[in-house]
């Protein structure tokens, strides 16, 4: 037990404030881990545990000597103590007790700085298991801060933000992720208590922004974890946000969120987490609405869909947060269910289409990029439901935008089939002359595919599905107008027939001929395309031959 004797001797010298005593105390403490590792595992673990227990006794704040030692060296010990946390479970428990003891007994400002530095290093080293001990220490020391609370809270949150983000990627250690999230939520509640007791207006306002920002980032991490405790954690975070003044309407207003997070931008470090905070606000707003059973959402349908756009944009930026995508879909479905058959429409259908299109394009990306068939199917189903809940004018503008904006060929083909159904439905309804699907405008959908880039034919075979869909829609319109003796769409006018032949169908022949014939699967699709083009050309030429 020479180590214990040397440690006690160094401790006595620390109490007498001798030169190099603090360094000697730390070196002796660290040597048990570094040098003793060469011994047998059982003996080494026992030595480490006994040494930690002796340190704990030496630092007893109820004794005068313990208080002197804490004052002299306590603030500098967390890093050395952390070395023991991985020796054994027993050492980890004593290490945690010591970290909490230091947090409760040392100068709060000094020990806070030391804990934050150790936490920062642990994150850099990806030692997240050690972060748990330090987070517990922070929960103990922060309530002891009595002055300049906002400044110390800000320094703390600077270090906590990366912990929250990194925790989302611990898929291989679910237990550790849950433990970290639990500690972070505990710290968020500690910050809430600091905010509640603060009397100085300027400090309180700063604390409001700091707490809001941290809670929003933490909301994203909690929902990403998607565990049995997620709902309870979300509810607690919603209460914290509510205490900061972030009610549901404010959570759904991005300008309000920007004003709250702007408080954090005095330091560049927080700029890195704005997308996390944005997503947290969207999730918080969505969760608030979803948790209100059978209650009318506290926002308009378009505002609710804007939240979904916000959320999905974040998901796709992260390239793979499909759990969040699934929750976003459920949110949209809940909005659709609550609003019944109400249309997502404002007075200006162009404004409506612009807002809706942003969401539809992101849903399209989910359909294309998600590795999960069920999620792809759900996203496309939601896409169609949202389209159907807009006015005819807005719906048409959305389709034109989607078809002409580089959407995946297979999705464009499906959307053109949807457009064909819209034409059929509008044709049989009253007031069809006011419907864009029964007007000359509907040919825009065909032209967007068959003449996409400054008059050039479409790229084949990349856009093969879309081209077949456009030709089928064109043929459907031709036959519909011809059989009914009408020309609502102008498709039977000589000018339109000549345009279709010279600008769409004939250039398409050359594009088809240029497709390499070496792929049997593509060859079958090419044959179908050629057949559809030929049928359309026959119909056009027959009409042009009419006197």
Q: How would DSSP label each residue in 56-113?
A: HHHT-TTSHHHHHHHHHHGGG-HHHHHTTTTT-HHHHHHHHHHHHHHHHHS-HHHHHH
* Minimum mean pLDDT range among 305-309, 363-367, 418-422: 305-309
Cis before 461 (ω within 30): yes
In 461-514, alpha helices (H): 464-484, 494-499, 506-513
Contacts (Cβ under 8 Å, ≥6 apart) of 265? 271
* 309 in any annotated domain: no
* Minimum mean pLDDT range among 48-57, 160-169, 410-419, 511-520: 511-520
Alpha carbon of residue 93 to chain centroid: 35
DSSP 220-233: HHHHHH--TTHHHH
Gap between the Cα atoms of 65 and 109, Å rounded: 22
Tell me the mean pLDDT in the region 296-308. 59
Gap between the Cα atoms of 79 and 60, Å rounded: 19
Looking at the predicted structure, is the pLDDT value of residue 513 above 80?
yes
Q: What is the pLDDT of residue 11?
A: 79
* 248 in any annotated domain: no
Q: What is the pLDDT of residue 321?
A: 67
Gap between the Cα atoms of 357 and 316, Å rounded: 16
CB 348 within 8 A of CB 391: no
Looking at the predicted structure, is the pLDDT value of residue 366 above 90?
no
Burial (0-12, 13-18, 19+ Cβ within 10 Å), 370: buried
Gap between the Cα atoms of 461 and 443, Å rounded: 23
* 190 in any annotated domain: no
Gap between the Cα atoms of 129 and 133, Å rounded: 8
Which H or E element spans position 160?
A: helix 149-167
pLDDT band for 296, please (50, 70, 90 cuts).
very low
* 301 in any annotated domain: no
Between 320 and 404, whose confidence is greater? 404
Total structural domains within the chain: 1
* 111 in any annotated domain: no
- Bridge partners, 453 (sequence order): 456
Looking at the predicted structure, is the pLDDT value of residue 41 above 80?
no
Reading the block at residue 286, the tokens are 């969505």
In 267-321, alpha helices (H): 274-290, 301-317
Gap between the Cα atoms of 339 and 353, Å rounded: 18
The single-letter DSSP state of residue 384 is: H
* 491 in any annotated domain: yes
In 226-300, alpha helices (H): 230-243, 248-251, 254-261, 274-290
Q: For the chain, give the number of residues.
A: 547
* Minimum mean pLDDT range among 56-60, 402-406, 506-510: 402-406
Domain containing residue 542 = 404-547
pTM: 0.68
Whose tokens are 């060929």? That residue is 409
pLDDT digits (tens, 9 = 90+) for 372-428: 899 899 999 989 988 888 888 889 999 999 998 778 999 999 999 999 999 999 998
Between 57 and 299, whose confidence is greater? 57
Longest CA–CA separation in the chain, Å: 116
Looking at the predicted structure, is the pLDDT value of residue 136 above 80?
yes
Looking at the predicted structure, is the pLDDT value of residue 482 above 90?
yes
What count of other Cβ atoms lies within 10 Å of the Cβ of residue 171?
9
Reading the block at residue 125, the tokens are 């080293």
Work out the percent of the chain whose per-residue pLDDT is above 90: 39
Give buried/exposed letters for 442-468 (b at 16+ CB in 10 A, else e): bbbbbbbbbbbeeeebbebbebbbbbb
Looking at the predicted structure, is the pLDDT value of residue 295 above 50?
no
Gap between the Cα atoms of 386 and 178, Å rounded: 36
Looking at the predicted structure, is the pLDDT value of residue 119 above 90?
yes
Phi and psi angles of residue 292, each rounded to the nearest 5 degrees, phi first: -95, 85
Gap between the Cα atoms of 412 and 392, Å rounded: 19
* 469 in any annotated domain: yes
Q: In terms of C-beta distances under 8 Å and separation of at least 24 residues, what long-range contacts does 61-66 make, across chains too?
A: 61/101, 61/104, 61/105, 65/15
DSSP H helix total and E strand total for the chain: 26, 0
CB 312 within 8 A of CB 366: yes
pLDDT band for 83, please (50, 70, 90 cuts).
confident
Tell me the mean pLDDT in the region 332-358. 66
* 64 in any annotated domain: no
Whose tokens are 């030595």? That residue is 47
* Nearest of 437, 434, 415 to residue 425 by alpha carbon: 437
Reading the block at residue 173, the tokens are 């250690």
Reading the block at residue 171, the tokens are 């898929």
């Amino acid at each position: 037990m020479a180590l214990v004797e040397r440690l006690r001797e160094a401790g006595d010298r620390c109490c007498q404030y001798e030169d190099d005593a603090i360094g000697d105390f730390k070196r002796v403490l660290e040597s048990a881990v570094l040098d003793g590792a060469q011994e047998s595992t059982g003996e080494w673990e026992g030595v480490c545990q006994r040494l930690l227990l002796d340190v704990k006794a030496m630092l007893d704040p109820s004794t005068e000597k313990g208080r002197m030692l804490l004052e002299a060296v306590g603030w500098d010990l967390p890093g050395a103590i952390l070395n023991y946390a991985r020796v054994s479970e027993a050492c980890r428990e004593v290490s945690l007790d010591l970290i909490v003891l230091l947090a409760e007994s040392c100068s709060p400002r000094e020990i806070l700085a030391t804990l934050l530095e150790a936490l920062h290093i642990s994150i850099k080293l990806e030692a997240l298991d050690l972060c748990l001990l330090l987070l517990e220490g922070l929960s103990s020391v922060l309530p002891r801060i009595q002055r300049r609370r906002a400044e110390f809270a800000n320094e703390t949150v600077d270090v906590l933000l990366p912990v929250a983000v990194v925790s989302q990627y611990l898929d291989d250690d679910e237990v550790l992720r849950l433990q970290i999230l639990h500690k972070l939520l505990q710290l968020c509640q500690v910050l809430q208590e600091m905010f509640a007791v603060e009397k100085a207006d300027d400090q309180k306002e700063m604390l409001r922004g700091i707490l809001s920002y941290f809670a929003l980032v933490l909301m994203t991490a909690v929902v990403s974890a998607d565990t049995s405790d997620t709902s309870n954690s979300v509810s607690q975070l919603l209460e914290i946000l509510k205490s900061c003044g972030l009610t549901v309407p404010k959570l759904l207003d991005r300008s309000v969120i920007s004003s709250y997070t702007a408080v954090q931008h005095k330091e560049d470090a927080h700029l890195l987490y704005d997308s996390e905070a944005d997503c947290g606000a969207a999730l918080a707003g969505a969760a608030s609405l979803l948790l209100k059973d059978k209650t009318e959402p506290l926002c308009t349908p378009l505002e609710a869909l804007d939240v979904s756009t916000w959320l999905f944009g974040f998901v796709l930026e992260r390239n793979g947060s499909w759990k969040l995508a699934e929750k976003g879909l459920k949110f949209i479905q809940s909005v659709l269910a609550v609003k019944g058959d109400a249309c997502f429409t404002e007075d200006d259908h162009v404004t409506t289409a612009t807002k809706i299109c942003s969401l539809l394009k992101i849903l399209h990306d989910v359909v294309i990029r998600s590795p999960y068939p069920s999620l792809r199917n759900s996203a496309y189903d939601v896409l169609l439901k949202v389209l159907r809940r807009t006015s005819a004018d807005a719906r048409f503008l959305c389709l034109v935008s989607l078809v002409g904006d580089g959407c995946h060929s297979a999705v464009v083909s499906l959307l053109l089939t949807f457009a064909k159904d819209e034409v059929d439905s509008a044709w049989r309804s009253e007031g069809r002359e006011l419907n864009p699907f029964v007007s000359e405008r509907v040919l825009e959908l065909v032209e967007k595919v068959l003449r996409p880039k400054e008059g050039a034919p479409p790229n084949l075979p990349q856009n093969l599905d879309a081209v077949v869909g456009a030709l089928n829609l064109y043929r459907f319109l031709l036959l519909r107008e011809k059989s009914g003796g009408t020309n609502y769409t102008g498709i039977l006018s000589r000018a339109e027939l000549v345009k279709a032949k010279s600008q769409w169908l004939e250039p398409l022949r050359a594009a088809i001929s240029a497709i390499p014939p070496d792929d049997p699967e593509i060859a079958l699709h090419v044959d179908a395309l050629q057949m559809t083009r030929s049928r359309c050309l026959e119909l056009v030429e027959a009409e042009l031959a009419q006197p």
